[in-house]
Amino acid sequence: MVVKKDLVILGGGTGGYVAAIRAAQQGRDVIIIERDKLGGTCLHKGCIPSKAMLKSARMMDAARELQAFGIDHEGNFSIDYKKVLKRKESIVEQLYQGVQALMKKHKIEIIEGSGVVQGPSIFTPDSGGVAVTFNDENKEEEIFVPKHLIIATGSRPISLPSIQIDEAHILSSDGMLELEELPKSVAIIGGGVIGCEWASILASLGVEVTIIEAMKTLVPNESRTISKSLKKAFKKQGITLKLKTKVEQAVVEEEGVALTIKESEETLTVEKVMVAVGRKPNVDGIGLNNTSIKFSDKGIEVNEHYQTAEGHIYAIGDVLDTLQLAHVAMKEGELAVEHMNTGHSEPLNYIHVPRCTYTRPEIASVGYTKDNVPEDMTVKTGVFYLKGNGKALIEGEADGGLVEVLTDTETDDLVGVSIIGPHATDLIAEASTALYMQAATMEIGEAIHPHPTISEAIAEAAMDTEGNAIHK
């Protein structure tokens, strides 16, 4: 059967369902085709479940530190991992129900099945029809022919050629979330955002953690100052770091997984291994070869309005070679719909996108860092250490924390902010807004920040670009 529709969205993850809501708000008749669950990786296998577990880990940290706050207690605290998982699952389920309710509210039809993009056919002279195989085997295949199509098929974890992920002993981030018991020891291959977040979770829950990273720094896309501070914090937390190190092979044995370290004859045996070396876009098996859409292993090629080579077909989210972040996918979805409806949209400046790492301490940044400033730009740097911030000391999390601010010497405009410390992922919103509004650094410094708050450190670092910080 052939069904004609206004807009079809292939993929109901964060980018897909946000695009659907925006399109429905603007009068479009929308269908989402999703083979699994609405919400995608972020809701079910990434952002939300991992942060729910992170909160449990932070509560365990807080329990261990009660005496430092003058609270005496008897006995030891213990982890009930089944309750940790139950809490995580309840949060995911509540948000999942919320997304489903939003679909009903906006009259967005959800098709549960797998879609393959079609080329020109007897049904339409253009590419962009989608053949759907339903999850319900009793339903016959249907072809949806839309005026516009948005491809939002997301991404999946990358493996390594010499290391086979089996999701039992050698796991991806997906498999880590499915573990029913905490392992005694874990080696994490990859010291980027995902690897460091999981290291932070597991270490706080009492797991012996080793990070193995090929590069010389953790979170290599962040400022070196931030990376050094995180390295120091991780060592203090008992996390073993093996930087500038590669794993040659991983062999599952009776006593665990034996890792052969390439740079030495050392063999490291752990109970579980997590591979966290990145994610790759889901471009295979969705019919792109049936069209003139250009794509590669890095993703689908689009213009600044997210149009593919076929102008009525758009692509957004992790399936592109852009920042693989949920809030990026959301914004790309909104902009794609805006262009689809009006023929215009303001191109997204990816330098303005805030980046967050939910470790302990938290890391957040927006704009440039000292290490990636364009060659034709000269910057001044302001730094404020949280050991001079009253609220950070009250929180007991001042150690190693800092705010780093960059300003363009020619224009005095803010061009970058990096934060490591408590609530960094919330605080970065001020810097993100200021960057978007093209604020001068001193405008941030002169704006009144409430006391005592950690946000004062942003103002102090901003004023430090001119040597005018008050408490430094």
Binding residue numbers:
51, 115, 153-155, 190-197, 213, 278, 318
Give the active site residues. 451
C-alpha 339/C-alpha 295 separation (Å) is 21
Q: Is 374 exposed, middle or buried (0-12, 13-18, 19+ CB in 10 A)?
A: exposed
C-alpha 336/C-alpha 317 separation (Å) is 11
Tokens of 140: 């016959």
Residue among 345, 339, 301 at smallest CA distance from 320: 301
- Note the Cα 156 to chain centre separation in Å: 12
Binding residues for NAD(+) are 190-197, 213, 278
Mapping DSSP onto H, E and C, the string for the chain reads CEEEEEEEEECCEHHHHHHHHHHHHCCCCEEEEECCCCEHHHHHCCHHHHHHHHHHHHHHHHHHCHHHHCCCCCCCCCCCHHHHHHHHHHHHHHHHHHHHHHHHHCCCEEEEEEEEECCCCCCCCCCCCEEEEECCCCCCCEEEEEEEEEECCCEEECCECCECCCCCCEECHHHHHHCCCCCCEEEEECCCHHHHHHHHHHHHCCCEEEEEECCCCCCCCCCHHHHHHHHHHHHHCCCEEEECCCEEEEEEECCEEEEEECCCCCEEEECEEEECCCEEECCCCCCHHHCCCCEECCEECCCCCCECCCCCEEECHHHECCCCCHHHHHHHHHHHHHHHHHCCCCCCCHHHCCEEECCCCCEEEEECCCCCCCCCCCEEEEEEEHHHCHHHHHHCCCCCCEEEEEEECCCCEEEEEEEECCCHHHHHHHHHHHHHCCCEHHHHHHCCCCCCCCCHHHHHHHHHCCCCCCCC
